[in-house]
Chains A and B, each alone.
Chain A
C-alpha cells in the first residue's frame, strides 16, 4: 500500500526530470566557436617592452620541483627583463588541468597560456573546437620553424581543420625543457656482473641475461597503477622500428600500419623478457612510484622511466646512469621525447602578443640554462652543458643534446588516439600475464587506430 503511493510519488518526481530533459534538449556543443583556425593577416608585435602594462595568466601543471622551480625562475627572469609585464601562474595537478581545460578555454576570461597536452586527447580536440590560437604568425616573426628541430616542432602542429596532426600550423610551442623515455642503470650492479654500459642492442640483451644468471633483478618496474607499462614498450618499439614509420603512424600520415612500426617485435620481446624472468617479481602488484623507489634503493639493474622522475635524495644519483635503448640495427638511438609541456595560447586571449613573447622566452637558451641549473633536462639548445659533479645528469644532458641536434625523437605512441593509452596498457598486461598472445596487443592497437582515423572523417 505504501509502495503504491510511493511509486506514484516517484513517478511524480520523475516528471519534472523528464521536463528538464526536454528543456535541455538542445544539441550540445553547437553554441561554441566556429573553428576558424587560420592565422590572422597582419604583423604581430614582438617587442614586449612596447606592449604597455599587461598581466598574463598562465595555467600549468608544474606543481612539484624541479618543474615548479624552473618555471618560477623563467617567470622571474622574464618579468625582470620586461617590468611592464606581470605574470600570474595557476598550477594545478595534471588530471585537474586536463579535466578543466575545455571549460576554462570556453569561458569569457580564459588563461592566456594553457598546457594542452599534445596529441588527440587534448590539443587535437581543442584545435578542432577552435579554442587555441594559430601561432604561425609568431613562428614566422620569431623564427621558430627554423630554430626548432623538425621532430619536436611537428609535435605541436595540426592542420587548420584539426584533422591532421604533425603537419600544418603551430597551435602550441615547446619549452626549453625535455621529457623523454630513457633507461636508467645501477652502476654498482653493472660492474658486479662485469658488463659495460650497453652500446648495442645485443649488449643490452646480454646484460639482462647475465644479471638474471647472477641473481640480480634485470628490470625493475611496477604497473599496478596502470600507467608505466608503456615505457619499456615504447623504448623497444624505438629500438626495432624506423623513426619515420613510427612518427607517420602516430600522426596517421599516409598509410603506415602499426605492424610496420616495430611495435609487434617490441611486444614479443617484452613478453619474452617476462617469460625469461627478467622483470621484477610482482611488478603487477607494485605501483610505478614504489618501483622507482626500489630501483633507487639498489634493487634491480635497469629501470625504464621518464627523464627526471626518480626520487633521488641529494647525492644519491651518483650511483646511477642513463642511456637511450640502442637500436637493433645499430643506427642512432631514437627516443620517445617531447617538450616537458606544450604551451598554447587561448584563442580568446586579449594579450596574445605578450603571451607569444613569454613563450619565446620559455623556449630560449636562457630558459634551457635555467633548466640545467635545476638539474632537469634541457631541450632545443644542444650547446647547453651540464654542471660537473652529477654523472647521471651529464648522461641526461648528453641525451637531450643528441635529440635536439640530430632530431632523433619520436612522439608518444599514445597520442595516436584518445584511447590508445588504455588500449595498449590493458592488452599488454593481459599478454604479460599469459592471458593472450602478443598478437592480441598489436590487433587491439590497430583496431583502435583504424577506428579513430575513420571517426576523423577526413
Chain B
C-alpha cells in the first residue's frame, strides 16, 4: 500500500502500515522464551544488525536528525539568516496565538482537513461500498480515471485547476451555458470562494487514492461474512456498518493518516494558484513558513512553524493508529 504514495507521505505509510496487519486479525508476536540460554549470541547478532544499519543510520542522522535538531534550536531565536541571531525564547511559538495571519492560517488548515481528508474518505468509502461486490462493467476504467489525480504532479494539478477556475475558464463557461451567468466570477480571486475552490481541488486529488484503497480492501472481505449478514436479514446499510466498515478499518487508518497529513502540509496547490491570496483568504501555515524562511527572512519564526507542524502531524498519525486499533 505504501508504494502507492511513496512520495506523498512515506513516513505516514510506515506508521500506518503495521496497523493493516493487526486489523486483519493476525497479530504477530515473537514466541516468548522462558530463559535466555543463548543471550550472548543474540546480543552479538543485535550488534551485527546495527553494524549493517550503520551506513543508513549515519546518512539519516546527517540529512534528517541533525537538520531537524538545528531547526528546533533555530526556532528559539530571531534570525534573518545573516547577522547574529538574538534569543527569542518561546516568542516564535506564541506567534500562533498572537499573529492574526498565522491564526487565520491554522483556521484554514481545519477547513482543508474537511476537504482534503473527510470528504475524500467518505466519498471513497461510498463508491467502494457501491462497487465492492457487484461486477460493474468497466469498473477498472472508472477506478483508473478516479485514481488519475494521484498520478499527476501537484504542479500540473495546480495549473489545471487554475485554468478551470479562471474568469474565462471552463467552470464559468458551463455556468453561462446553463443560464447562470450571474454566478460567474474569478473563483480564485474571490474572498469567499477561493478557499472552498481550492478545497474541492484537494478533494478531487485525494478521492481516487481513498477509493482505490477501500476498493482493494473490500475485495479482501470474505464473501461468507456478507452471506451471513444477509441470512440474518441485514439490509445494505446494516451490511455496510457490520461487515464492510469493520473490514476496512486498516485501510481507513491508512487513508486518514495520508489525507490528514496532506491537509496539514498543503502547500503546492495554494502556492501555485493563489499564493495565499486574495488578501490572506487562502493562506496556510506552510505558506507563512515559506514566506518567513525565504522572502522576508525570519528564519526562527519559520522553524517554529515547521516544528509545530511536525509535532501536530506526529500526534495526528499516532491518534489515528491508536483509534483504529482500540477495539482489538
Q: Which residues of A contact B (CB under 8 A)?
A: 1-3, 6-7, 10, 16-25, 27-30, 32, 35, 95, 98-99, 102, 106, 121, 125-126, 128-129, 131, 223-226, 281-286, 290, 418-419, 422, 425-427, 429-430, 433, 435
Contact = CB atoms under 8 A, between A and B. Distances in A.
Given A17-B69, A95-B294, 15 more contacts: A6-B318, A17-B72, A20-B68, A21-B72, A28-B79, A28-B85, A125-B297, A226-B277, A422-B296, A426-B280, A427-B279, A429-B277, A433-B191, A433-B279, A435-B279
Task: Pick the most buried of A30, A126, A131, A284: most chain B CB atoms within 10 A of its CB.
Answer: A284
A20 B61 contact: yes
A30 B77 CA distance: 12
B74 interface: yes
Contacts, number: 153
B80 A125 contact: yes
30 contacts: A2-B27, A3-B322, A6-B15, A6-B18, A6-B318, A20-B61, A20-B65, A21-B70, A24-B70, A28-B74, A102-B81, A106-B82, A126-B82, A128-B82, A223-B278, A224-B188, A226-B276, A282-B186, A283-B186, A284-B278, A285-B167, A285-B185, A285-B186, A285-B189, A419-B296, A422-B291, A425-B277, A430-B278, A430-B279, A433-B191
Interface in B277-292: 277-280, 291
A425 B325 CA distance: 48
A182 to B, nearest CB: 25
B167 A281 contact: yes
A102 B84 CA distance: 13
B314 interface: yes
Given A20-B61, A126-B82, A285-B165, A98 B294 contact: yes
B296 A22 contact: no
B295 interface: yes
Contacts of A226: 274-277
Interface of B: 15, 18-19, 22, 27, 61, 65-66, 68-70, 72-74, 77, 79-85, 87, 165-167, 185-191, 273-280, 291, 294-297, 299, 314, 318, 321-322, 325, 328
Contact of A129 (B82, B189, B318, B328): B82
Contacts of B82: 29, 32, 102, 106, 125-126, 128-129, 131
B278 A125 contact: no
A317 B297 CA distance: 39
Contact of A224 (B277, B314, B328): B277
A419 B99 CA distance: 14
Contacts of B66: 20, 23-24
Contacts of B189: 223-224, 282-286
A288 to B, nearest CB: 12
A6 B321 contact: yes
A128 B278 CA distance: 34
B276 A27 contact: no
Contact of A32 (B84, B277, B280, B294): B84
B222 to A, nearest CB: 23
Given A17-B68, A285-B165, A30 B85 contact: yes
Nearest to B21: A2
6 closest cross-chain pairs (CB), A and B: A285-B186, A20-B69, A284-B189, A285-B189, A129-B82, A282-B167
A10 B22 CA distance: 19
Contacts of A6: 15, 18, 318, 321
B83 A286 contact: no
A19 B70 CA distance: 10
Contacts of B166: 285-286, 290
A283 B61 CA distance: 48
B294 A99 contact: yes
B278 A433 contact: yes
Contacts of B191: 430, 433, 435
Contact of B69 (A18, A98, A225, A282): A18
Nearest to B82: A129
Task: Pick the most buried of A3, A32, A226: most chain B CB atoms within 10 A of its CB.
Answer: A3
A412 to B, nearest CB: 15
B294 to A, nearest CB: 5
A281 B84 CA distance: 48
B210 to A, nearest CB: 23
A140 to B, nearest CB: 28
Contacts of B83: 29, 32, 35, 125, 128-129
Contact of A426 (B87, B277, B296, B318): B277
Given A2-B18, A121-B295, A225-B275, A285 B65 contact: no
Contact of A286 (B61, B84, B87, B167): B167
Contacts of B273: 224
A281 B190 CA distance: 12
Contacts of B325: 2-3
